[in-house]
Amino acid sequence: MEATDAAQGFAALSQETRLKLMRLLASKGASGMSAGELAAELRQPPSTLSFHLAALEQAQLIQSTRQGRQNIYAVRFAGLRSLFGFLTETCCGGRPDLCGDLARLLPEETLEDDNMTPAFNVLFLCTHNSARSLMAQAILNQIGKGRFNAYSAGSEPARGPMPEVIDKLKALGHDVTDLRCKSWNEFAGPNAPRMDFVITLCDTLQGQRCPDFGEKPVTAAWPLPDPAKFTGTAIERATMVNELYGMIRRRLDIFINLPYVSLDRMALKKRLDELGESAKVPA
């Protein structure tokens, strides 16, 4: 970080409201908060808050993303750590590890993609939203590490998730608190989160119907077998659920590591379609 950039960062923080903004946004992590929520929490007029948000964003300490009609703001932790790292990098003759707790202010050695927005919104669809799409939602929200917001829905939602699927996700440490079966219509209105990706998991070869979200998000089809049609003993069904989990997890491990910055829309869709082709045959 250059001295001029550091000076701009510290200048942006040299105001009480902005400090409160940063602390509040930091408490929310990558999920962030909308401008309206921030204004209500800090009891600031929208026009005043907008001025402070712009100053922090200009200093690369926060970043915003559009979700429906709202702007969602989140702390840009890479920028914040770089700012304080500028102060500590010369500690103890270039050995900040000798400076005790100050070393924790340094940027982590792992690389962070500064071009990535706070999170891409991804909607997984299947017919009943009771198994495949719920699995994908839970897995991506765990391995996406704040870079992805996963949602799921169905064209004909079931009354509730498959118990075997919930048990599997719980056993592997996934958060299942918010998992429920819901209609894709919840994500089709003007106030719904804007989706960057819509991925259908229906096995279209078996005639299942999947909704069409048009051309705005990048779409892909990863046809996977419907666990609701699994037959056999409890052990056999558990084995099939395990295999399905593995198929989804492998695709999502690749998905989160795609080079989004260097791929244009058509190239990105091609990569997602290739993942769909690989999903037709169990790996």
Helix (H) or strand (E) holding 132: helix 132-143
pLDDT of residue 58: 82
| 126 has a pLDDT exceeding 70 | yes
Question: What are the tens digits of pLDDT across the range 62-93?
Answer: 887 765 566 788 888 777 777 877 777 776 66
Stretch 185-208: mean pLDDT, rounded? 75
Task: Average the pLDDT over each of 6-10, 22-26, 181-185 and give the range with the smallest value.
Answer: 6-10
As a whole number of Å, the CA-based R_g of the chain is 22
pLDDT confidence of residue 116: 40
User: What domains appear along the chain, each with residue ranges and CATH number?
Assistant: 3-105 (1.10.10.10), 120-279 (3.40.50.2300)
**Predicted local distance difference test score (pLDDT) of residue 283:** 38
Q: Please state, for a pLDDT cut of 90, what percent of the chain lies above it.
A: 23
Model confidence band, residue 110 (pLDDT cutoffs 50, 70, 90): very low
What is residue 179's predicted lDDT score, i.e. its pLDDT? Answer: 94
Mean per-residue pLDDT for 43-48? 84
Cα maximum dimension of the chain: 68
The pLDDT score that the predictor gives to residue 245 is: 94
- Please give the backbone phi and psi of residue 39, each rounded to the nearest 5 degrees, phi first: -65, -40
Ranked by mean pLDDT, the top range of 11-20, 104-113, 136-145, 210-219 is 136-145
3-state secondary structure of 141: helix
Average pLDDT, the chain: 79
- Per the listing, tokens 């593995």 go with 246
Cα–Cα distances in angstroms (integers) from residue 143 to residues 22, 182, 252, in the given order: 25, 23, 8
pLDDT given for residue 114 in this prediction: 41
Q: Do residues 21 and 38 touch, judged by C-beta distance below 8 A?
A: yes
Hunting for tokens 């408490």 — which residue is that?
A: 27
Residue 202 has pLDDT above 80, yes or no: no
pLDDT band at 249 (very low <50, low <70, confident <90, very high): very high
CA dist 246 and 240 (Å) reads 10
- pLDDT band with cut points at 50, 70 and 90 for residue 156: confident
Q: Considering the entire predicted model, what is its pTM?
A: 0.57
Q: Cα separation of 147 and 119, whole Å?
A: 4
Sorting pLDDT into bands at 50, 70 and 90, what band is 215? Answer: low
Identify the residue with better confidence: 268 or 158. Answer: 158
Would you call 80 helix, strand, or coil by DSSP?
helix
| C-beta separation of 198 from 120 below 8 A | no
Percent above pLDDT 70 for the chain: 78
Give pLDDT, residue 218: 85
Does position 106 have pLDDT exceeding 50, yes or no? no
What is the average pLDDT across 107-117?
41
